[in-house]
């Protein structure tokens, strides 16, 4: 009897396998870094840091009769932060775990831990540059037909399961959020609209209120004319920040990118770009209201210089930023590129010293060099060097003038991800 039962189970399993589509994918990213001013101005008496970080991610999923499921598990560590004979550690985690159901040709619902990666990732991005990346616990209803895409949904977060109401205390997280997004393309013109509302609980206040902040605007407005792309975006923020201050802030950007084809057959081309981004800020003598824009969940490494001195766990609730930049990229072929970026940074709002004197708006200059080579569809190499020249005002905002005369950063990255179209990370024109 047992062997007949096993035979029937085997037949059912084989039948299931014949209908379902299983996928297995993975990636390993290893990045060695030298930090001498990365994310924070380097002090005269500090010693530089050097380390190798690694992300190893395994993704598994399957599709069957309108159902799609995916689970992504990753191990993020620095080489050497556990002993060689250690049996277990705390570096393994679930990056994504979601299921999607296709109602019909145009509608689906997707729920679970998932990446929210839209437009140029200024406000909502998967943070691919950071080894841990970013995912939200969220539910989305999605519509797609021709050149129209619509997404709306939300998330509600709590510390744990509980029989009574508890405060939400996970740092840097919203308690609840709602999203609506529209994407449309008409010929060579494309645009998107976004509305994001989130509530964050302030557990430092007696009544532990939830303050709501809204971000809405046009994350992408772009027009392509032959080998030239014009693009812009605009966000507005209102409501109250987590401290309970009234917010009235904005983020405005415009850019032009042109590619000059040198040899179409070899993929040889020269790309140039220029533009600006203006993120509103709060003057240092203002204490009642906030005009500081917060690019809350973006892949911010890709925007205001690769040394991450602005809006990457820093420069929040600050004087804002005016970023004027020029970029040049040369593709030797489809596999090999070099690139140089130049940024000029100014404060968007007023900076005052202790004597109420207005300081110069200039914050600093940065140049970023990048290069990459694709050895095969499974393996690519990427490297970069950045140098920052701080202005006196940025030194003042950073808390002192006892800084090293050289502020720089360098990295070398090995990227193993055969089924990912993006063979390079965090580098764009």
Helix, strand, or coil here: 245?
A: coil
The residues with which 326 forms a beta bridge, in sequence order, are: 274, 342
**Tens of pLDDT, residues 35-52:** 999 999 999 999 999 999
**Tens of pLDDT, residues 300-358:** 999 999 999 999 999 999 999 999 999 999 999 999 999 999 999 999 999 999 888 99
Instruction: Determine phi and psi for 395, rounding to 5 degrees.
Output: -60, -40
State how far the Cα of 75 lies from the Cα of 361, in Å rounded to an integer. 42
In a domain, 155, yes or no: yes
Q: Buried b / exposed e across 171-188, counting CB within 10 Å, b at 16+?
A: eebbbbbbbebebeeeee
Q: How many domains does the chain have?
A: 1
State how far the Cα of 338 lies from the Cα of 343, in Å rounded to an integer. 17
C-beta separation of 348 from 357 below 8 A:
no
User: Considering the chain, what is the average pLDDT of its residues?
Assistant: 94
Residue of 213, 215, 53, 23 whose CA lies nearest to 123: 215
| pLDDT score of 373 more than 70 | yes
pTM score = 0.92
What is the enclosing helix (H) or strand (E) of 272?
Answer: strand 268-279
In a domain, 356, yes or no: yes
Q: pLDDT class for 399, splitting at 50, 70, 90?
A: confident
Domain residues for 307?
A: 19-416
In a domain, 11, yes or no: no
Residue of 367, 319, 314 whose CA lies nearest to 344: 367
State how far the Cα of 305 lies from the Cα of 384, in Å rounded to an integer. 12
In a domain, 4, yes or no: no
Residue of 376, 373, 367 whose CA lies nearest to 413: 373
CATH number at residue 49: 2.40.160.100
In a domain, 328, yes or no: yes
Sign of CA dihedral 125, 128, 132, 135: positive
In a domain, 13, yes or no: no
State how far the Cα of 19 lies from the Cα of 22, in Å rounded to an integer. 10
In a domain, 271, yes or no: yes
């Amino acid at each position: 009897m047992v062997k007949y039962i096993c035979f029937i189970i085997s037949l059912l399993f084989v039948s299931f396998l014949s209908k379902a589509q299983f996928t297995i994918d993975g990636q390993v990213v290893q990045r060695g870094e030298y930090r001498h001013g990365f994310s924070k101005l380097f002090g005269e008496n500090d010693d530089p840091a050097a380390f190798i970080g690694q992300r190893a991610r395994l993704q598994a999923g399957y599709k069957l009769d309108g159902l799609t499921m995916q689970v992504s598990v990753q191990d993020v560590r620095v080489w050497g932060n556990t002993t060689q004979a250690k049996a277990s550690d705390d570096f393994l985690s679930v990056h994504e775990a979601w299921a999607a159901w296709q109602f019909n040709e145009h509608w689906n619902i997707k729920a679970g831990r998932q990446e929210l990666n839209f437009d140029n990732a200024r406000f909502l991005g998967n943070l691919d540059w950071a080894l841990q990346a970013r995912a939200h616990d969220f539910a989305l209803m999605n519509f797609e037909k021709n050149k129209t895409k619509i997404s709306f949904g939300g998330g509600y977060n709590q510390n744990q399961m509980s029989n009574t109401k508890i405060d939400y205390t996970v740092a840097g997280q919203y308690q609840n959020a709602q999203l609506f997004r529209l994407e449309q393309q008409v010929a060579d013109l494309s645009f998107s609209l976004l509305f994001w509302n989130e509530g964050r609980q302030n557990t430092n206040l007696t009544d532990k209120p939830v303050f709501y902040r809204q971000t809405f605007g046009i994350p992408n407005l772009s027009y392509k004319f032959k080998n030239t792309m014009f693009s812009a975006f605009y966000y507005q923020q209102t409501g109250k920040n987590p401290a309970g201050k009234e917010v009235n802030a904005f983020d405005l950007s415009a850019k032009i990118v042109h590619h000059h084809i040198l040899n179409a057959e070899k993929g040889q081309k020269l790309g140039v770009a220029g533009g600006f981004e203006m993120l509103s800020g709060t003057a240092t003598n203002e204490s009642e209201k906030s005009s500081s824009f917060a690019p809350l969940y973006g892949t911010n490494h890709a925007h205001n210089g690769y040394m991450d001195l602005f809006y990457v766990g820093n420069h929040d609730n600050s004087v804002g930023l005016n970023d004027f930049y020029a970029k040049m990229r040369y593709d030797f072929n489809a596999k090999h590129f070099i690139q140089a970026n130049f940024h000029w940074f100014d404060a968007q709002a007023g900076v005052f010293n202790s004597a109420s004197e207005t300081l110069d708006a200039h914050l600093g200059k940065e140049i970023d060099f990048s290069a990459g080579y694709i050895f095969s569809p499974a393996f690519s190499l990427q490297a970069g060097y950045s140098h920052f020249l701080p202005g006196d005002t940025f030194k003042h905002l950073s808390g002192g003038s006892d800084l090293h005369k050289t502020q720089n950063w360098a990295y070398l990255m090995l990227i193993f991800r055969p089924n990912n179209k993006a063979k390079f990370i965090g580098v764009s024109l």
